[in-house]
Amino acid sequence: MPAIAGEFSSMFIRLDKWNSLPPEVRNLLIKAGKDYEKALVEYVLPYHKENYWPLIRKAGVKEIVLTKEEQKEFKKRLEPVWDWWKGLLPPGVGEKAIKLATE
């Protein structure tokens, strides 16, 4: 496994700084972000599942896995919260974030 199995952190840049970057630099950063995400999914999440979840369960944390029907009901009950949250954001931003998070 690559050395990336340790900690991952989030990366941020101000929009004005992003917009001031040359397109080729923005494209490189976008590619690096996609590579970072791929590594997270392929290496870090399985590493955590294998090494940390057993410790969490051993500590007595109960894991609840929802059935498909329960997941559907949960999403339905979240709709008012999502609608409220989307109202706090510029048009389209909330919908895009929810789509990215739930697909």
In this prediction, residue 5 carries a pLDDT of: 46
User: Does the global pTM surpass 0.75?
Assistant: no
- For 79-97, letters b (16+ CB in 10 Å) and e give eeeeeeebeeeeeeebeee
Contact between 95 and 86 under an 8 Å Cβ cutoff? The reply is: yes
Mean pLDDT over 67-95 rounds to 93
DSSP 63: P
- For 19-53, letters b (16+ CB in 10 Å) and e give eeeeeeeeeeeeeeeeebeeeeeebbeeeeeeeee
Q: 29-78: per-residue pLDDT in tens?
A: 999 988 888 888 888 888 888 999 899 999 999 989 999 999 999 989 99
Mean pLDDT over 2-23 rounds to 77
In this prediction, residue 48 carries a pLDDT of: 85
In this prediction, residue 2 carries a pLDDT of: 46
Mean pLDDT over 75-82 rounds to 93
